[in-house]
Amino acid sequence: MKGVLTFALGLLLTTAMATSPVQAASVDSSTAPPVQQPHTGLSFSQLRIVYPAHASKGVSLKIHNTSDGAYLVQSWVRPVSPETGSVDLTWAGKPKMPFIVTPPLSRLEAHSEHVLRIRYTGQALPQDRESIFFVSLRALPAQPPTPDADRVVMTVVTNLKLFYRPAGLAEEAITNASRQLRFRREGNQLIAINPTPYWLTFASLSLGHFTYGTADLRLMVPPMAEQHYAIPSAAERDASVKWRLIDEGNWETPESQQAL
């Protein structure tokens, strides 16, 4: 299935970390490609950002505003939580991230587009495997000249995965990496074994008739390492594993299968 290359920010999103009068909704694009929402506000040129080591001038990210109102957009880079696979919400600025986004704060007028630039600062990163981070973008609707004290303002934080890909690694590799992924079962754990230097994200994962949900799909398989997934007691003992990954263009790879 072809991935969706734009992601809408609308007021119908489920809110999290909400306070009044400003509410915040957090959107994580780390699993299967999202579907564009009605009442669109902002969309992006890509949902997964691959930063090749040879990009000495950085990489760009376009933001499109299809709404009738302006937005203030704040952009920054955050680490990944190894426990959840989403943004590490405990990060408070240290350690310092090896990427910056410019401009960090910008105004996006109605029916316009804006280009952000992501640059590597040169901090040491592994050169034999990918490193992963999140580019976070907080969108705040511009306030009217005369603020209404009873008006609830919705801010939306969208998190896009940022992969740093060292020199020597292929620019399009996830489809091939999907075929190299292997699984084994240990007790009530399904263990995914990744022999490749790439971070692998599941678009879908199933064991027999059991299909893993979004929280499990967020748990990426690290390069040259393993990831564990709980097996429910109802799962068949001799079931096969089926999976699809999300590739560099946010497309789903062909389905792979392995008997345990």
Which CATH number covers residue 154?
2.60.40.10
**Do both 60 and 160 map to the same domain?**
yes
Structural domain range at position 55: 22-165
Query: Tens digit of pLDDT for each residue in 30-54?
Result: 443 443 333 448 899 999 999 999 9
For residue 10, is it within any domain? Answer: no
Give yes or no: residues 114 and 37 share one domain. yes
39: left (phi over 0), alpha (psi -120 to 50) or beta: left
pTM score? 0.83
> pLDDT digit string (tens) for 108-155?
999 999 999 999 999 999 999 999 999 999 998 887 766 666 666 667
Both 159 and 42 in a single domain?
yes
Total number of domains in the chain: 2
| Confidence band of 10 (pLDDT split at 50, 70, 90) | very low
Does residue 2 lie in a domain region?
no
Decide which of 165, 184, 202 is a domain's last residue.
165
Mean pLDDT over the full length of the chain? 85
Q: What angle do CA 84, 253, 76 make, to 5 degrees?
A: 40
| Phi, psi (deg, nearest 5) at residue 126 | -55, 140
- Determine the pLDDT at residue 82: 87
